[in-house]
Amino acid sequence: MLLHVCCAPDLVPAFFHLKKIEKVYFYNPNIYPKEEYKKRLNEVIKLSKEWDFKIIESKYEPEIFYNYVKGYENLGENSTRCEKCIYLRLFDTALKAKEIGEKEIATTLTSSPRKNLDKINKIGKLVEDKTGIKYIETYFRKGIEYQKALKYIKEKGIYRQNYCGCVFSLKETEIQKQKKLLERQEKLQKLGFEKFTLDPEVLVVDENIFELIHEKFIDIIEIIRPKILVTNNVFSQKLNLKDGWNKLGKYNLKVKIKDENEIKNWECDKC
């Protein structure tokens, strides 16, 4: 079987499901820019060394992708643009399988949290009808294997991209990000806390900050999302926080409880 692989974080769930992989085909002319293509390929190469499988790599030919999705560029993610992009990659995988004498193909795309798996499998069947190469239906995003894979990805520090792959998805992700930032800023404004910055490395809760935010503490933390909150024993007790991870509403907050001097030093070192 020839497994089409789109990226390392999607390959891991596939591996946990299949248990053994012999060869993969890295065919992704959609990925933009070239540096990102190389980065995703390098992560797959690392896994090939660990799990001992062969990688067949195609040339990087983005113009094939651009020609194929011409006229559909601005339709957004999960549109006809994506169906064509998936068809293009699976069709080429089937041709490669034929060339090297393989009779079946599958794809790691069904690991993706952003894709409709039934749609991918339907496209796979279309490719099967067209080429005569059997497409194996998969649902790599499901099951205990997927949960184990997520843990593995985190533990090994495998690179996880934050956009699907093409230049259009990169722009769409950026627009979404800006929209969400704006929404958070507006929420802060409504609460009257616009002087706080979003996503700070550290939020130090001393007497002044405590007085200011304690009544709407969870709401504010959920909006500004500090990486670490540093405070002392007194305020941690009043805010019901423990040293380490704390679940605050929808946000997992890391808390460090320090004495006053340590807090001052922390501020000097980190802020």
Q: Which residues bind ligand SF4 (CB under 6 A)?
A: 30, 77, 81-82, 85-86, 164-166, 168-169
CB of 72 to ligand SF4, least distance (A): 8
CB of 96 to ligand SF4, least distance (A): 19
The DSSP secondary structure of 49-101, one letter per residue, reads HHHT-EEEE----HHHHHHHTTT-TTS-TTSHHHHHHHHHHHHHHHHHHHHHT
- What is the C-alpha to C-alpha distance for residues 34 and 40, in angstroms, rounded to an integer? 10
**Residue with smaller CB distance to ligand SF4, 27 or 168:** 168
Tell me if 116 sits within 8 A of 83, measured CB to CB: no
**Residue with smaller CB distance to ligand SF4, 38 or 227:** 38
Residue 54: beta bridge partners? 23
CB of 73 to ligand SF4, least distance (A): 9
CB of 12 to ligand SF4, least distance (A): 19
**Residue with smaller CB distance to ligand SF4, 15 or 32:** 32
Angle between helices 80-100 and 117-131 (to 10 degrees): 40
> CA quadruple 192, 195, 196, 197: dihedral positive or negative?
positive
Tell me if 223 sits within 8 A of 200, measured CB to CB: no
Tell me if 74 sits within 8 A of 168, measured CB to CB: yes
**Residue with smaller CB distance to ligand SF4, 12 or 123:** 123
CB of 165 to ligand SF4, least distance (A): 3
In the chain the first and final C-alpha atoms are separated, in Å, by 53
**Residue with smaller CB distance to ligand SF4, 6 or 224:** 6
> CA quadruple 226, 227, 231, 234: dihedral positive or negative?
positive
CB of 128 to ligand SF4, least distance (A): 20
CB of 31 to ligand SF4, least distance (A): 7
> Which region holds residue 260: left if phi is over 0, alpha if psi is between -120 and 50, else beta?
alpha
Tell me if 263 sits within 8 A of 269, measured CB to CB: no
**Residue with smaller CB distance to ligand SF4, 67 or 240:** 67
